[in-house]
Every structure is written in structure tokens, then in C-alpha cells.
A = this chain, B = another copy of it.
Amino acid sequence: MASQIQANAQKKNAEYASNFKEGHLALPPAKKYAVVTCMDARIDPAAAYGINLGDAHVIRNAGGNARDALRSLVISEQLLGTNEILLIKHTGCGMLTFKNEDAHSVVAKNLGAAGQQELSGLDFQPFPDLDKAVEDDVKYLKASKAIPDSITVSGWVYDVETGKLKLLV
């Protein structure tokens, strides 16, 4: 039997599909760019960042982390023709609220020795300073030999309380 969450996805999707008219869109993003942003539940990238269906790749992970996104970004650029990256972190991010040792303590407590072992040495990649984290990730992408200099990279902060997006770097 479907869970409540699964049943909600099925019901809402049936409404979406019944009005769906975008089946003709091509695989490569029409506007040739990729967005890297956080998985945070308070962010709707399409609406907040003005992305129309078919226009851009949207990569999301905990923190809007550039290193985590590298495999996806290389596929986006080298195989699917994008040439610009918007790296967008946000205010009130969960990654500002803990340190690696806190996460590993919680894992040890909740997942026991086997879980601890599976995640041993993992960098959860929290950050103590939002603007600096954006700047660092932009630097990382610009310095990476996997991202050619022809790719435009910008760094942004999205404010989850006002809905405002600010170009930082």
C-alpha cells in the first residue's frame, strides 16, 4: 500500500500530467546553464530563480555544495552543452548549524557501529560563514581543471525569509 507521501505524489502528479503540454522539450537545456543550490525545503528554484521548464539543469544537495556537484556539472557541460553556472546558497541553511563532529556523533548514536563505519571519514561539508562559503565554492569551480575557463561562474545568496536573491560574486 502506498504511504501518505507516495499517495500525495500520485494524486498531485495525476493533476499535473492531465494539463501537461511540454512533452516536446529537448534533452539539452535550452538556455545552456546549470544551477547548483541547496536541497532546503524552503527553496523552489524554478519559481525563485526564474527557470522555465527545459531551460537549465538544477543540481541540489545539502548546502548547494560545489564539490558534491562536480560529477553532475561535468556531465552538464561536457555532454549536454551548458556553459554557465549559478551557485546559490541561502540564509538559514542547516549547514551553518553543525560541525562535522556533531554529525558524526549523531550518526554514531543513531546508526551504531555499522553506520558509523559506512560514513567513516565523510566530510558532511558544513560551513560557519555563508558569504565565505559561496566565495570558496566559486573559487573552487574557477580553479578546477574540470571546469574550463570558458564557463561563466557566479555566486549568489538567496534569503529564505524575504525570497530575495542577491548576486555576491
Chain A residues packing against B (C-beta within 8 Å): 2-3, 5-6, 8-13, 15-17, 20, 22-23, 25, 27-31, 33-34, 39-42, 44, 46-50, 53-62, 68-69, 71-72, 74-76, 78-80, 84, 86, 92, 94-95, 98, 103, 106-107, 110-111, 114-115, 117-119, 122, 124-125, 144-146, 148, 152, 154, 156, 160-165, 167
| Copies of this chain present | 2
15 contacts between A and B (CB under 8 A): A3-B154, A5-B84, A9-B86, A11-B50, A17-B162, A17-B164, A34-B39, A39-B72, A42-B53, A44-B53, A58-B60, A59-B60, A62-B75, A68-B71, A74-B103
Beyond contacts A41-B56, A74-B122: 8 other A-B pairs, Cβ-Cβ < 8 A, are: A5-B86, A6-B154, A8-B50, A9-B49, A11-B50, A16-B50, A71-B124, A79-B103
A25 contact from B42, B79, B107, Cβ within 8 A: B42
Give the distance in Å from the alpha carbon of A33 to the alpha carbon of B3 in the complex.
11
A11: which B residues are within 8 A, CB to CB? 50
Q: Once the chains bind, are B16 and A48 in contact (CB under 8 Å)?
A: yes
The 10 residue pairs across chains A and B that have the minimum distance between CB atoms: A12-B50, A20-B163, A114-B145, A13-B165, A17-B163, A23-B161, A29-B41, A62-B72, A39-B57, A60-B60
